[in-house]
Structure 1
Protein backbone atom coordinates (compact mmCIF):
# COMPACT_ATOMS: atom_id res chain seq x y z
CA UNK A 1 0.00 0.00 0.00
CA UNK A 2 1.49 3.31 -1.11
CA UNK A 3 1.43 6.35 1.14
CA UNK A 4 -0.58 9.30 -0.13
CA UNK A 5 1.17 12.47 -1.31
CA UNK A 6 -1.54 14.73 -2.76
CA UNK A 7 0.95 17.46 -3.67
CA UNK A 8 2.35 15.16 -6.39
CA UNK A 9 -0.94 15.30 -8.27
CA UNK A 10 -0.56 17.25 -11.49
CA UNK A 11 3.25 17.15 -11.40
CA UNK A 12 5.34 15.78 -14.27
CA UNK A 13 7.90 13.08 -13.45
CA UNK A 14 10.57 11.54 -15.64
CA UNK A 15 11.92 8.13 -14.57
CA UNK A 16 14.93 6.64 -16.32
CA UNK A 17 15.43 2.90 -16.05
CA UNK A 18 11.65 2.87 -16.22
CA UNK A 19 11.08 -0.32 -18.19
CA UNK A 20 11.68 -2.84 -15.40
CA UNK A 21 12.42 -3.34 -11.72
CA UNK A 22 12.75 -0.36 -9.42
CA UNK A 23 12.29 2.19 -12.20
CA UNK A 24 9.08 0.63 -13.48
CA UNK A 25 7.63 0.37 -9.98
CA UNK A 26 8.55 3.98 -9.29
CA UNK A 27 6.93 5.14 -12.53
CA UNK A 28 3.73 3.34 -11.52
CA UNK A 29 3.93 4.84 -8.03
CA UNK A 30 4.19 8.41 -9.30
CA UNK A 31 1.30 7.82 -11.68
CA UNK A 32 -0.81 6.42 -8.83
CA UNK A 33 -0.28 9.73 -7.02
CA UNK A 34 -1.70 11.62 -10.00
CA UNK A 35 1.59 12.66 -11.58
CA UNK A 36 2.06 12.46 -15.34
CA UNK A 37 4.98 10.14 -16.01
CA UNK A 38 7.54 9.76 -18.78
CA UNK A 39 9.18 6.34 -18.43
CA UNK A 40 12.57 6.11 -20.14
CA UNK A 41 14.38 2.95 -21.16
CA UNK A 42 15.88 1.05 -24.08
CA UNK A 43 13.28 -1.72 -24.42
CA UNK A 44 10.22 -0.44 -26.27
CA UNK A 45 8.13 -3.53 -25.54
CA UNK A 46 8.86 -3.44 -21.80
CA UNK A 47 8.17 0.29 -21.66
CA UNK A 48 4.89 -0.17 -23.51
CA UNK A 49 3.81 -2.71 -20.90
CA UNK A 50 4.51 -0.24 -18.08
CA UNK A 51 2.64 2.55 -19.88
CA UNK A 52 -0.32 0.27 -20.62
CA UNK A 53 -0.54 -0.73 -16.96
CA UNK A 54 -0.52 2.91 -15.87
CA UNK A 55 -3.10 4.06 -18.40
CA UNK A 56 -5.35 1.07 -17.75
CA UNK A 57 -5.50 2.27 -14.13
CA UNK A 58 -6.47 5.78 -15.21
CA UNK A 59 -3.01 7.33 -15.07
CA UNK A 60 -1.16 9.47 -17.57
CA UNK A 61 2.12 8.21 -18.97
CA UNK A 62 4.27 8.14 -22.09
CA UNK A 63 7.26 6.03 -23.08
CA UNK A 64 10.57 7.39 -24.33
CA UNK A 65 13.15 5.02 -25.80
CA UNK A 66 16.66 6.32 -25.20
CA UNK A 67 20.21 5.39 -24.28
CA UNK A 68 20.90 7.46 -21.15
CA UNK A 69 24.62 7.61 -21.92
CA UNK A 70 23.74 9.70 -25.01
CA UNK A 71 23.20 13.39 -24.24
CA UNK A 72 21.46 14.06 -27.55
CA UNK A 73 18.97 11.25 -26.86
CA UNK A 74 18.30 12.64 -23.39
CA UNK A 75 17.57 16.08 -24.79
CA UNK A 76 15.08 14.47 -27.17
CA UNK A 77 13.44 12.83 -24.15
CA UNK A 78 13.21 16.20 -22.42
CA UNK A 79 11.56 17.80 -25.42
CA UNK A 80 9.13 14.89 -25.71
CA UNK A 81 8.22 14.99 -22.01
CA UNK A 82 7.71 18.75 -22.07
CA UNK A 83 5.62 18.72 -25.23
CA UNK A 84 3.41 15.80 -24.19
CA UNK A 85 3.19 16.25 -20.41
CA UNK A 86 4.45 19.72 -19.48
CA UNK A 87 7.45 21.12 -17.60
CA UNK A 88 9.31 18.45 -15.63
CA UNK A 89 8.99 18.81 -11.84
CA UNK A 90 10.54 15.49 -10.75
CA UNK A 91 13.51 13.65 -12.21
CA UNK A 92 14.29 10.12 -11.02
CA UNK A 93 17.63 9.15 -12.57
CA UNK A 94 17.35 5.44 -11.89
CA UNK A 95 19.10 3.81 -14.86
CA UNK A 96 22.13 1.64 -14.14
CA UNK A 97 22.81 -1.62 -12.38
CA UNK A 98 26.09 -3.07 -13.64
CA UNK A 99 27.16 -4.68 -10.39
CA UNK A 100 27.92 -8.24 -11.53
CA UNK A 101 30.81 -9.52 -9.35
CA UNK A 102 34.22 -9.48 -11.05
CA UNK A 103 37.60 -9.75 -9.31
CA UNK A 104 39.36 -6.40 -9.59
CA UNK A 105 42.39 -8.03 -11.22
CA UNK A 106 40.09 -9.25 -14.01
CA UNK A 107 38.24 -5.97 -14.49
CA UNK A 108 39.23 -4.72 -17.92
CA UNK A 109 39.65 -1.07 -18.85
CA UNK A 110 36.73 -1.40 -21.25
CA UNK A 111 34.46 -2.83 -18.56
CA UNK A 112 35.54 -0.11 -16.10
CA UNK A 113 34.44 2.57 -18.56
CA UNK A 114 31.21 0.73 -19.39
CA UNK A 115 30.16 0.53 -15.74
CA UNK A 116 31.05 4.13 -14.92
CA UNK A 117 29.22 5.33 -18.03
CA UNK A 118 26.15 3.24 -17.23
CA UNK A 119 25.88 4.08 -13.53
CA UNK A 120 27.51 7.49 -13.04
CA UNK A 121 27.92 9.36 -16.31
CA UNK A 122 24.34 8.51 -17.27
CA UNK A 123 23.04 10.27 -14.14
CA UNK A 124 25.22 13.32 -14.85
CA UNK A 125 23.97 13.55 -18.45
CA UNK A 126 20.35 13.01 -17.41
CA UNK A 127 20.55 15.79 -14.85
CA UNK A 128 22.27 18.08 -17.36
CA UNK A 129 19.36 17.62 -19.75
CA UNK A 130 16.63 18.50 -17.24
CA UNK A 131 18.27 20.78 -14.67
CA UNK A 132 18.30 24.03 -16.71
CA UNK A 133 14.50 24.02 -16.97
CA UNK A 134 14.12 23.39 -13.24
CA UNK A 135 16.51 26.22 -12.41
CA UNK A 136 14.68 28.56 -14.76
CA UNK A 137 11.39 27.77 -13.02
CA UNK A 138 13.00 27.87 -9.56
CA UNK A 139 11.69 24.50 -8.45
CA UNK A 140 12.22 20.78 -8.87
CA UNK A 141 13.20 17.54 -7.18
CA UNK A 142 15.96 15.27 -8.50
CA UNK A 143 16.47 11.77 -7.13
CA UNK A 144 19.53 9.72 -8.05
CA UNK A 145 19.86 5.96 -7.64
CA UNK A 146 22.98 4.86 -5.81
CA UNK A 147 23.48 1.49 -4.09
CA UNK A 148 24.60 -0.06 -0.85
CA UNK A 149 27.69 -1.03 -2.88
CA UNK A 150 28.56 2.66 -2.96
CA UNK A 151 28.25 2.93 0.82
CA UNK A 152 30.48 0.05 1.88
CA UNK A 153 32.56 -2.66 0.16
CA UNK A 154 30.48 -5.46 -1.32
CA UNK A 155 30.63 -8.42 -3.68
CA UNK A 156 29.80 -6.12 -6.62
CA UNK A 157 32.63 -5.19 -8.95
CA UNK A 158 34.97 -2.32 -8.07
CA UNK A 159 33.78 -0.03 -10.86
CA UNK A 160 30.18 -0.37 -9.67
CA UNK A 161 31.13 0.51 -6.10
CA UNK A 162 33.13 3.53 -7.26
CA UNK A 163 30.35 4.71 -9.59
CA UNK A 164 27.74 4.52 -6.86
CA UNK A 165 29.96 6.24 -4.31
CA UNK A 166 30.39 8.91 -6.97
CA UNK A 167 26.61 9.27 -7.19
CA UNK A 168 26.49 10.06 -3.48
CA UNK A 169 28.99 12.91 -3.94
CA UNK A 170 27.30 14.08 -7.15
CA UNK A 171 24.10 14.36 -5.12
CA UNK A 172 25.71 16.22 -2.23
CA UNK A 173 27.67 18.58 -4.46
CA UNK A 174 24.70 19.49 -6.65
CA UNK A 175 22.41 19.89 -3.65
CA UNK A 176 24.76 22.44 -2.11
CA UNK A 177 25.27 24.23 -5.42
CA UNK A 178 21.68 24.57 -6.61
CA UNK A 179 19.71 24.51 -3.36
CA UNK A 180 19.59 28.33 -3.24
CA UNK A 181 17.85 28.22 -6.64
CA UNK A 182 14.96 26.08 -5.45
CA UNK A 183 15.93 22.61 -6.71
CA UNK A 184 16.47 19.71 -4.30
CA UNK A 185 18.71 16.70 -5.01
CA UNK A 186 18.62 13.50 -2.95
CA UNK A 187 19.72 9.91 -3.48
CA UNK A 188 18.48 6.42 -2.66
CA UNK A 189 20.95 3.63 -1.93
CA UNK A 190 19.16 0.26 -1.82
CA UNK A 191 20.60 -3.02 -0.65
CA UNK A 192 19.31 -6.36 -1.98
CA UNK A 193 16.00 -5.78 -3.78
CA UNK A 194 13.81 -8.60 -5.02
CA UNK A 195 13.29 -7.48 -8.62
CA UNK A 196 12.02 -9.61 -11.49
CA UNK A 197 15.65 -10.25 -12.47
CA UNK A 198 16.53 -11.45 -8.97
CA UNK A 199 13.45 -13.68 -8.83
CA UNK A 200 14.43 -15.25 -12.16
CA UNK A 201 18.14 -15.73 -11.47
CA UNK A 202 18.62 -16.18 -7.72
CA UNK A 203 17.58 -19.57 -6.29
CA UNK A 204 15.10 -19.46 -3.41
CA UNK A 205 17.63 -20.80 -0.87
CA UNK A 206 20.10 -18.04 -1.78
CA UNK A 207 17.34 -15.44 -1.46
CA UNK A 208 16.70 -16.74 2.05
CA UNK A 209 20.40 -16.42 2.95
CA UNK A 210 20.52 -12.88 1.57
CA UNK A 211 17.37 -11.97 3.50
CA UNK A 212 18.96 -13.24 6.73
CA UNK A 213 21.86 -10.78 6.25
CA UNK A 214 19.48 -7.87 6.88
CA UNK A 215 18.32 -7.02 10.45
CA UNK A 216 14.70 -6.80 9.27
CA UNK A 217 14.96 -10.38 8.04
CA UNK A 218 13.91 -9.96 4.42
CA UNK A 219 15.08 -8.65 1.08
CA UNK A 220 13.75 -5.30 -0.02
CA UNK A 221 10.99 -4.86 -2.58
CA UNK A 222 10.68 -2.43 -5.45
CA UNK A 223 7.82 -0.86 -3.52
CA UNK A 224 10.17 -0.11 -0.61
CA UNK A 225 12.29 1.97 -2.98
CA UNK A 226 9.33 3.56 -4.75
CA UNK A 227 7.89 4.66 -1.41
CA UNK A 228 11.16 6.41 -0.62
CA UNK A 229 11.17 8.12 -4.02
CA UNK A 230 7.63 9.42 -3.48
CA UNK A 231 8.60 10.86 -0.11
CA UNK A 232 11.75 12.54 -1.42
CA UNK A 233 9.86 14.05 -4.37
CA UNK A 234 7.00 15.33 -2.23
CA UNK A 235 6.53 18.42 -0.09
CA UNK A 236 6.93 16.15 2.95
CA UNK A 237 10.67 16.29 2.17
CA UNK A 238 10.69 20.01 1.35
CA UNK A 239 13.61 20.72 3.73
CA UNK A 240 15.69 17.71 2.72
CA UNK A 241 18.45 17.96 0.13
CA UNK A 242 21.87 16.35 -0.30
CA UNK A 243 20.62 13.28 1.56
CA UNK A 244 21.32 9.64 0.72
CA UNK A 245 18.65 7.32 2.09
CA UNK A 246 19.94 3.81 2.79
CA UNK A 247 17.02 1.53 1.94
CA UNK A 248 18.73 -1.53 3.35
CA UNK A 249 16.57 -3.15 5.99
CA UNK A 250 19.00 -1.99 8.67
CA UNK A 251 22.08 -3.43 7.02
CA UNK A 252 23.60 0.04 6.57
CA UNK A 253 22.72 2.68 9.14
CA UNK A 254 25.08 5.58 8.44
Structure 2
Protein backbone atom coordinates (compact mmCIF):
# COMPACT_ATOMS: atom_id res chain seq x y z
CA UNK A 1 0.00 0.00 0.00
CA UNK A 2 1.52 3.29 -1.12
CA UNK A 3 0.05 5.51 1.61
CA UNK A 4 -0.87 3.29 4.58
CA UNK A 5 -1.72 6.31 6.74
CA UNK A 6 -3.58 8.23 4.05
CA UNK A 7 -5.25 11.36 5.54
CA UNK A 8 -5.02 10.11 9.13
CA UNK A 9 -4.22 12.78 11.68
CA UNK A 10 -1.14 11.85 13.71
CA UNK A 11 0.36 13.67 16.68
CA UNK A 12 3.98 12.79 17.48
CA UNK A 13 5.15 14.33 20.74
CA UNK A 14 8.80 15.27 20.99
CA UNK A 15 9.13 15.46 17.21
CA UNK A 16 11.46 18.43 16.93
CA UNK A 17 14.48 16.09 16.74
CA UNK A 18 15.69 12.52 17.10
CA UNK A 19 13.28 9.60 17.05
CA UNK A 20 10.20 11.83 17.05
CA UNK A 21 11.34 13.73 13.97
CA UNK A 22 12.09 10.45 12.17
CA UNK A 23 8.66 9.04 13.06
CA UNK A 24 6.89 12.23 11.97
CA UNK A 25 8.79 12.29 8.67
CA UNK A 26 7.97 8.64 7.98
CA UNK A 27 4.29 9.17 8.82
CA UNK A 28 4.09 12.18 6.52
CA UNK A 29 5.62 10.15 3.67
CA UNK A 30 2.96 7.49 4.37
CA UNK A 31 0.18 10.03 3.81
CA UNK A 32 -0.59 11.17 7.35
CA UNK A 33 -1.52 14.72 8.31
CA UNK A 34 1.21 15.17 10.89
CA UNK A 35 1.09 17.33 14.01
CA UNK A 36 4.59 18.14 15.23
CA UNK A 37 5.19 18.82 18.90
CA UNK A 38 8.03 20.21 20.96
CA UNK A 39 9.03 22.99 23.31
CA UNK A 40 11.51 24.62 20.90
CA UNK A 41 9.57 26.49 18.20
CA UNK A 42 12.66 27.03 16.02
CA UNK A 43 13.52 23.31 16.06
CA UNK A 44 9.92 22.49 15.15
CA UNK A 45 10.10 24.96 12.27
CA UNK A 46 13.18 23.18 10.92
CA UNK A 47 11.37 19.83 10.86
CA UNK A 48 8.27 21.43 9.37
CA UNK A 49 10.35 22.92 6.57
CA UNK A 50 11.23 19.37 5.52
CA UNK A 51 7.64 18.10 5.73
CA UNK A 52 5.87 21.08 4.17
CA UNK A 53 3.35 23.65 5.32
CA UNK A 54 0.66 21.00 5.82
CA UNK A 55 2.46 19.80 8.95
CA UNK A 56 0.97 21.49 12.01
CA UNK A 57 3.29 22.59 14.82
CA UNK A 58 2.15 22.74 18.46
CA UNK A 59 4.27 23.68 21.44
CA UNK A 60 3.90 22.77 25.08
CA UNK A 61 5.19 20.80 28.06
CA UNK A 62 3.80 17.26 28.30
CA UNK A 63 4.12 17.35 32.09
CA UNK A 64 1.69 20.29 32.27
CA UNK A 65 -1.99 19.37 31.85
CA UNK A 66 -3.03 22.85 30.74
CA UNK A 67 -0.45 22.81 27.93
CA UNK A 68 -1.75 19.45 26.73
CA UNK A 69 -5.37 20.64 26.85
CA UNK A 70 -4.46 23.68 24.75
CA UNK A 71 -2.65 21.46 22.24
CA UNK A 72 -5.70 19.17 22.03
CA UNK A 73 -7.99 22.11 21.38
CA UNK A 74 -5.69 23.48 18.67
CA UNK A 75 -5.53 20.12 16.91
CA UNK A 76 -9.28 19.60 17.04
CA UNK A 77 -9.92 23.14 15.81
CA UNK A 78 -7.84 22.43 12.70
CA UNK A 79 -8.46 18.73 12.05
CA UNK A 80 -11.53 17.80 14.06
CA UNK A 81 -10.08 14.43 15.05
CA UNK A 82 -6.97 12.52 16.08
CA UNK A 83 -6.31 9.06 14.63
CA UNK A 84 -2.78 8.33 15.81
CA UNK A 85 -0.98 9.41 18.98
CA UNK A 86 2.72 8.69 19.40
CA UNK A 87 3.72 9.52 22.98
CA UNK A 88 7.41 9.82 22.22
CA UNK A 89 8.50 12.80 24.34
CA UNK A 90 10.75 11.89 27.24
CA UNK A 91 14.35 12.34 28.33
CA UNK A 92 16.87 12.13 31.13
CA UNK A 93 19.79 14.26 32.18
CA UNK A 94 20.82 11.79 34.90
CA UNK A 95 23.83 9.49 34.90
CA UNK A 96 24.12 5.92 36.21
CA UNK A 97 24.57 5.95 39.99
CA UNK A 98 24.11 3.68 43.02
CA UNK A 99 20.54 3.82 44.30
CA UNK A 100 21.60 5.40 47.60
CA UNK A 101 23.25 8.26 45.69
CA UNK A 102 20.19 9.15 43.59
CA UNK A 103 18.65 12.40 44.75
CA UNK A 104 14.93 12.73 45.25
CA UNK A 105 14.97 15.64 42.81
CA UNK A 106 16.56 13.66 39.97
CA UNK A 107 14.30 10.66 40.67
CA UNK A 108 11.15 12.76 40.47
CA UNK A 109 12.40 14.55 37.34
CA UNK A 110 12.98 11.30 35.44
CA UNK A 111 9.64 9.81 36.51
CA UNK A 112 7.85 13.05 35.63
CA UNK A 113 9.39 13.45 32.16
CA UNK A 114 9.03 9.84 31.11
CA UNK A 115 6.13 8.18 32.93
CA UNK A 116 3.89 10.98 34.17
CA UNK A 117 4.27 12.85 30.87
CA UNK A 118 3.15 9.78 28.94
CA UNK A 119 0.20 9.30 31.29
CA UNK A 120 -0.92 12.92 31.00
CA UNK A 121 -0.58 12.87 27.21
CA UNK A 122 -2.72 9.76 26.88
CA UNK A 123 -5.21 11.03 29.47
CA UNK A 124 -5.69 14.22 27.44
CA UNK A 125 -6.24 12.62 24.03
CA UNK A 126 -7.88 9.32 24.93
CA UNK A 127 -11.40 10.84 25.28
CA UNK A 128 -11.11 12.16 21.71
CA UNK A 129 -10.44 8.65 20.42
CA UNK A 130 -13.13 7.13 22.62
CA UNK A 131 -15.68 9.52 21.15
CA UNK A 132 -14.53 8.54 17.65
CA UNK A 133 -14.49 4.87 18.71
CA UNK A 134 -11.21 4.47 16.87
CA UNK A 135 -7.56 5.30 17.21
CA UNK A 136 -4.02 4.02 17.62
CA UNK A 137 -1.68 4.91 20.48
CA UNK A 138 2.04 4.16 20.46
CA UNK A 139 4.16 4.79 23.53
CA UNK A 140 7.94 4.85 23.73
CA UNK A 141 9.75 2.83 26.34
CA UNK A 142 13.40 1.74 26.23
CA UNK A 143 15.53 -1.35 26.52
CA UNK A 144 16.57 0.21 29.84
CA UNK A 145 13.14 -0.77 31.11
CA UNK A 146 13.39 -4.29 29.70
CA UNK A 147 16.65 -5.66 31.06
CA UNK A 148 18.32 -4.85 34.41
CA UNK A 149 21.88 -3.61 34.29
CA UNK A 150 24.45 -2.29 36.73
CA UNK A 151 24.99 0.61 34.34
CA UNK A 152 21.35 1.66 34.02
CA UNK A 153 19.91 5.00 35.06
CA UNK A 154 17.59 3.57 37.69
CA UNK A 155 14.81 6.18 37.69
CA UNK A 156 14.74 6.36 33.89
CA UNK A 157 14.59 2.56 33.65
CA UNK A 158 11.82 2.39 36.25
CA UNK A 159 9.84 5.03 34.38
CA UNK A 160 10.21 3.23 31.05
CA UNK A 161 9.21 -0.09 32.62
CA UNK A 162 6.15 1.72 33.97
CA UNK A 163 5.33 2.96 30.48
CA UNK A 164 5.18 -0.65 29.28
CA UNK A 165 2.68 -1.81 31.90
CA UNK A 166 0.70 1.41 31.53
CA UNK A 167 0.41 0.72 27.80
CA UNK A 168 -0.84 -2.81 28.40
CA UNK A 169 -3.44 -1.58 30.89
CA UNK A 170 -4.41 1.08 28.35
CA UNK A 171 -4.84 -1.56 25.66
CA UNK A 172 -7.17 -3.54 27.91
CA UNK A 173 -9.31 -0.50 28.79
CA UNK A 174 -9.37 1.13 25.35
CA UNK A 175 -9.83 -1.96 23.20
CA UNK A 176 -13.65 -2.04 23.49
CA UNK A 177 -13.67 1.47 21.95
CA UNK A 178 -11.76 0.31 18.86
CA UNK A 179 -8.49 1.79 20.12
CA UNK A 180 -5.19 -0.09 19.93
CA UNK A 181 -2.21 0.65 22.18
CA UNK A 182 1.30 -0.69 21.73
CA UNK A 183 4.78 0.18 22.97
CA UNK A 184 8.17 0.46 21.28
CA UNK A 185 11.34 -0.22 23.28
CA UNK A 186 14.43 0.96 21.37
CA UNK A 187 18.03 0.25 22.39
CA UNK A 188 21.18 2.20 21.48
CA UNK A 189 19.81 4.23 18.59
CA UNK A 190 22.30 6.41 16.70
CA UNK A 191 20.43 9.67 16.83
CA UNK A 192 22.31 12.83 15.90
CA UNK A 193 23.03 13.41 19.59
CA UNK A 194 24.36 9.89 20.16
CA UNK A 195 26.52 10.01 17.04
CA UNK A 196 28.02 13.24 18.32
CA UNK A 197 28.66 12.14 21.89
CA UNK A 198 29.45 8.42 21.66
CA UNK A 199 33.04 7.92 20.41
CA UNK A 200 33.45 5.79 17.30
CA UNK A 201 35.34 3.05 19.16
CA UNK A 202 32.57 2.84 21.76
CA UNK A 203 29.99 2.64 18.97
CA UNK A 204 31.87 -0.31 17.48
CA UNK A 205 32.07 -2.03 20.85
CA UNK A 206 28.36 -1.53 21.46
CA UNK A 207 27.52 -2.85 18.01
CA UNK A 208 29.49 -6.04 18.67
CA UNK A 209 27.33 -6.65 21.78
CA UNK A 210 24.23 -6.94 19.59
CA UNK A 211 23.41 -10.19 17.78
CA UNK A 212 22.86 -8.18 14.57
CA UNK A 213 26.27 -6.54 15.02
CA UNK A 214 25.15 -3.01 14.40
CA UNK A 215 23.45 -0.16 16.24
CA UNK A 216 19.95 1.03 15.51
CA UNK A 217 18.97 4.07 13.46
CA UNK A 218 16.04 6.45 13.94
CA UNK A 219 14.57 4.96 10.77
CA UNK A 220 14.52 1.50 12.39
CA UNK A 221 12.25 2.89 15.09
CA UNK A 222 10.19 4.93 12.62
CA UNK A 223 9.43 1.89 10.48
CA UNK A 224 8.32 -0.08 13.54
CA UNK A 225 6.06 2.83 14.52
CA UNK A 226 4.63 2.94 10.98
CA UNK A 227 3.73 -0.76 11.19
CA UNK A 228 1.99 -0.30 14.55
CA UNK A 229 0.14 2.80 13.31
CA UNK A 230 -1.11 1.15 10.12
CA UNK A 231 -3.85 -1.35 9.40
CA UNK A 232 -1.13 -3.96 8.86
CA UNK A 233 -1.13 -4.37 12.66
CA UNK A 234 -4.91 -4.13 13.13
CA UNK A 235 -5.00 -7.35 15.23
CA UNK A 236 -2.11 -6.30 17.48
CA UNK A 237 -2.59 -4.47 20.76
CA UNK A 238 -0.95 -4.47 24.19
CA UNK A 239 2.48 -5.60 22.99
CA UNK A 240 6.00 -4.27 23.59
CA UNK A 241 8.17 -4.37 20.48
CA UNK A 242 11.92 -4.46 21.15
CA UNK A 243 13.60 -2.41 18.44
CA UNK A 244 16.92 -3.57 19.79
CA UNK A 245 18.86 -5.68 17.31
CA UNK A 246 18.42 -8.71 19.54
CA UNK A 247 20.02 -7.05 22.56
CA UNK A 248 17.02 -7.85 24.76
CA UNK A 249 17.10 -11.63 24.71
CA UNK A 250 16.18 -13.84 27.65
**Short-chain TM bin:** over 0.9
Partners of 1:5 and 1:230 within 8 A in 2? no
1:99 positional shift: 6.5
1:60 positional shift: 2.5
Relative to structure 1, the CA distance from residue 180 to residue 253 in structure 2 (aligned partners, 3 Å threshold; closer, same or farther) is: farther
Q: Alignment partner for residue 110 of structure 1, among 102, 105, 123?
A: 105
1:101 positional shift: 2.6
Counterpart position of 1:181: 177
Q: Alignment partner for residue 34 of structure 1, among 31, 34, 40?
A: 31
Counterpart position of 1:151: 146
1:120 positional shift: 0.3
Gaps of 5+ in 1: none
1:138 matched to 2:133? The reply is yes
Gaps of 5+ in 2: none
1:98 matched to 2:95? The reply is no
1:129 matched to 2:121? The reply is no
Q: Alignment partner for residue 233 of structure 1, among 204, 229, 232?
A: 229
1:5 positional shift: 5.8
Partners of 1:23 and 1:94 within 8 A in 2? yes
For the residues of structure 1 that align with 2:80 and 2:237, how far apart are their CA atoms? 24
| Cα RMSD after superposing both structures | 1.3
SS at match of 1:60: coil
1:228 positional shift: 0.5
SS at match of 1:186: strand
Can you list the C-alpha shifts for 1:45-85, whole angstroms capped at 9, x where unaligned? 11110111000xxx721111111100110111111112223
Counterpart position of 2:5: 8
The correspondence of residues 11-90 of structure 1 with structure 2, limited to 5 A, is: 11-55=8-52, 60-90=54-84
1:98 positional shift: 1.3
Relative to structure 1, the CA distance from residue 29 to residue 12 in structure 2 (aligned partners, 3 Å threshold; closer, same or farther) is: same
Q: With structure 1 as the length reference, what TM-score do the two structures score?
A: 0.94
Counterpart position of 2:206: 210
Relative to structure 1, the CA distance from residue 145 to residue 5 in structure 2 (aligned partners, 3 Å threshold; closer, same or farther) is: farther
Counterpart position of 1:166: 162
Partners of 1:100 and 1:156 within 8 A in 2? no
For the residues of structure 1 that align with 2:80 and 2:187, how far apart are their CA atoms? 34
1:244 positional shift: 0.3
For the residues of structure 1 that align with 2:176 and 2:93, how far apart are their CA atoms? 35
